[in-house]
Amino acid sequence: MANGILKVEDMLKNYKDAVHEKDVEKFLAAYADDVYIYDCWENWECKGISLWRQNVVGWFNELNEGGYLLNVDFNDVAILENNDVAFVHCAVKYAAFKDNVEEKIRQMTNRFTFGLKKVNESWLIVHEHSSVPLNPDPGKGNFK
What are the backbone angles phi and psi of residue 5, rounded to the nearest 5°? Answer: -95, 90
Residue 88 pLDDT exceeds 90: yes
pLDDT value of position 39: 78
At 4-29, the pLDDT tens digits run 789 999 999 999 999 999 999 999 99
Query: For the CA atoms of the chain, what is the radius of gyration?
Result: 15
Give which of 110, 111, 115 is closest to 79, Cα–Cα.
Answer: 115
pTM of the model: 0.88
Average pLDDT value for the chain? 88
